[in-house]
Amino acid sequence: MRLNAQDHAAISAAVATAEAATAGEIVVVTARRSDAYHDVGLHMAVLAMLLVIAATAVWPGWLHGVHGWIEPWGEAPTPAFLLGVVAWVQGAVFLIVRNACAWQPLRMALTPRSTKARRVHAQALTLFRAAAEKRTVAATGVLLYLSMAEHRAELIADASIHDRVAPEVWGDALAALLAAVKDGRTGDGIVAAVGAIGVVLAEHFPKGVDDVNELPDRVIEL
């Protein structure tokens, strides 16, 4: 789900409001997904191909059934014939699963949650280093990253914030965000999360008299 103009305005206003009470800087980034997961489709195709051998070991009778269908009056199947049948079936299964996994929704459904979590975290780290890390004088940048397809969010903070705020503290902000995304209220969820982040930052990093806005307040959509 893409953010509309109202969502963009509400999020920018929420960031400005949150930063009005803190020296921290909040960067919001959303992405349709964090990875294409093409390798998952390949892995599933290889797994399906290997399952053909496993199934043959458990139920070898199907090979003789194939032989009887192809050569109903022939002699007993040779090892070369049996191996050839297995190879042809493996190839067919590989191609069927590989082509099926070209459909993005199926590929996403087959991707393990742990893999999605790792890819989303890796993408969040990359974006943090590009958009927020050490981009402020006091190293008080925070990245809020939402990956839509995976329904996962990450919050990564500069070292000075990380040293003072335990990762668990951000749990409520991320939980509120993901609950809203699940209900189809992505913009509202981001606004709520930004507000919760601002409360934490204001407690540990109150705004100074000479503080200036160092990072843009607008949400970045990838």
pLDDT along the chain (222 residues), means of 10: 86 91 89 93 94 88 72 69 85 95 93 94 91 76 91 88 80 82 88 90 83 81 90
**The whole model's pTM is what?**
0.82
CA dist., res. 168 & res. 175, Å (int): 11
- The predicted structure's pLDDT at residue 68: 63
Q: What are the beta bridge partners of residue 28?
A: 144
CATH of the domain at 28: 3.10.310.50
Cβ atoms of 123 and 150 within 8 Å: the answer is: no
Beta strands in 101-182, from DSSP E residues, in sequence order: 141-147, 152-157
Please tell me whether residues 69 and 132 are part of one structural domain. no
Q: Structurally, how many domains does the chain consist of?
A: 2
Residue 71 pLDDT? 67
Cα–Cα distance measured from residue 161 to residue 150, given in angstroms and rounded to the nearest whole number = 27
- CA dihedral in degrees (115, 116, 118, 123; nearest 10)? 140
Residues 145 and 200 in one domain: yes
Which of 75, 109, 143 terminates a domain? The answer is 109
Boundary of a domain, candidates 82, 109, 136: 109
User: How far apart are the C-alpha atoms of 8 and 140, rounded to whole Å?
Assistant: 23
List the domain range (segments joined by +) for residue 89.
38-109
Distance CA 56, CA 216 (A): 60
Same domain, 44 and 121: no
Q: Are residues 12 and 121 in the same domain?
A: yes
Q: Residue 26 is inside which H or E element, if any? A: strand 25-31
- Residue 146 pLDDT: 93
Q: Both 95 and 120 in a single domain?
A: no
Q: Are residues 19 and 121 in the same domain?
A: yes
Give the CA angle between residues 217, 127, 200 to the nearest 5°.
55
Q: Last residue of some domain: 50, 82, 109?
A: 109
Are 190 and 173 in contact, with CB atoms under 8 Å apart?
A: no
